């Protein structure tokens, strides 16, 4: 497991030179002659330069984004992994005034402040012009926890593992024969303390930041399900979603087929 940082700071040639002298590459470098406002540097926790870079960025009032890279062995050893789709294209329809919410969700408990607690009750509608590239997985902008696949890829690799699907419709309500949405209807609590979350000032319910550093908390009760969603919501601002988790055999199928468009974030061992 490697915890990686992307630091940003207000760039000056002097600051860039200080970082370069520690031993890291700076974008742009200290000999840059044009105008620049933001500088960027990358480092990994525990690297020789990491403590020095962190100290300088704090001193300069900079900021950082954190993520974790897991080894193939760590992913394979986990009982469950979160399936995080990285390829996004298109918007749920109708997109005007977020009309897709009423189209596809029960919004009786939905909070428009934190964006949580809507429950899907109908298929998504999408434009036919979605761009997949070479990816097997796709998500729509605004919706993190709706995972779409080419039907033939799902049939070949995930249908044999009892992963069911929602149909997907075009903007007129006709079912598209080449796209499906993975169905994860069962919600399972994760072993995460409530005081680690932030309470919404409007609905009063708690949500959490998505995984950044280390393993995702394990699901409670070791559910024997190929795919399910977290009971907890994750997000920031007005957007929230559940984590979509898959069992070890589903992880193995995705890795064996080298399916693109998603990353696997392993869960910790249960306590």
Query: What are the boundaries of each domain within the chain?
Result: 2-69, 75-266
CA angle 72, 227, 220 (to 5 degrees): 85
Question: How much is the CA Rg of the chain, to the nearest whole Å?
Answer: 21
Query: Which residue has tokens 């434009």?
Result: 127
Q: Which contiguous run of DSSP H or E holds residue 229? A: strand 227-236
Q: Which two tokens stand for residue 23?
A: 């031993």
| Closest C-alpha among 217, 171, 214, 228 to residue 194 | 217
Q: Which of the four CATH numbers 3.30.70, 1.20.1250, 3.40.1350, 1.10.3470 does domain 2-69 have? A: 3.30.70
* Residue 249 dihedral angles phi and psi, to the nearest 5°: -70, -30
Q: What is the mean pLDDT of each run of 10 residues along the chain (271 residues)?
A: 95 96 95 92 95 96 95 95 97 95 95 95 95 97 97 98 97 96 97 91 93 92 96 94 97 96 94 74
Instruction: Return the pLDDT at 35.
Output: 87
Look at residues 148, 155, 110 and name the one whose alpha carbon lies nearest to residue 126: 148
């Amino acid at each position: 497991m490697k915890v990686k940082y992307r630091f940003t700071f207000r760039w000056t040639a002097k600051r860039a030179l200080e970082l370069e002298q520690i031993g890291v590459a700076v974008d742009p470098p200290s000999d840059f002659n044009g105008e620049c406002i933001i500088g960027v540097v990358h480092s990994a926790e525990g690297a020789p330069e990491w403590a020095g870079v962190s100290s300088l960025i704090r001193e300069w009032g900079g900021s950082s984004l954190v993520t974790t890279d897991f080894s193939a062995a760590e992913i394979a050893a986990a009982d469950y992994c979160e399936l995080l789709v990285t390829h996004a294209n298109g918007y749920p329809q109708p997109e005007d005034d977020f009309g897709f919410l009423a189209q596809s969700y029960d919004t009786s408990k939905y909070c428009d402040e934190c964006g949580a607690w809507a429950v899907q009750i109908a298929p998504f509608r999408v434009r036919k012009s979605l761009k997949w590239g070479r990816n097997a997985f796709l998500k729509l902008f605004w919706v993190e926890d709706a995972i779409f696949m080419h039907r033939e890829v799902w049939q070949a690799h995930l249908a044999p593992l009892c992963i069911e699907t929602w149909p997907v419709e075009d903007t007129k309500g006709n079912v598209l024969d080449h796209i499906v949405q993975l169905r994860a209807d069962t919600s399972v609590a994760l072993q995460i303390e409530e005081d680690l979350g932030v309470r919404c000032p409007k609905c009063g319910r708690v949500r959490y930041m998505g995984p950044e550093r280390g393993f995702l908390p394990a699901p409670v009760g070791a559910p024997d399900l190929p795919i399910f969603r977290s009971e907890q919501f994750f997000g920031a601002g007005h957007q929230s979603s559940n984590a979509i988790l898959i069992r070890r055999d589903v992880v193995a199928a995705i890795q064996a087929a080298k399916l693109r468009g998603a990353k696997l974030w392993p869960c910790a061992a249960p306590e």
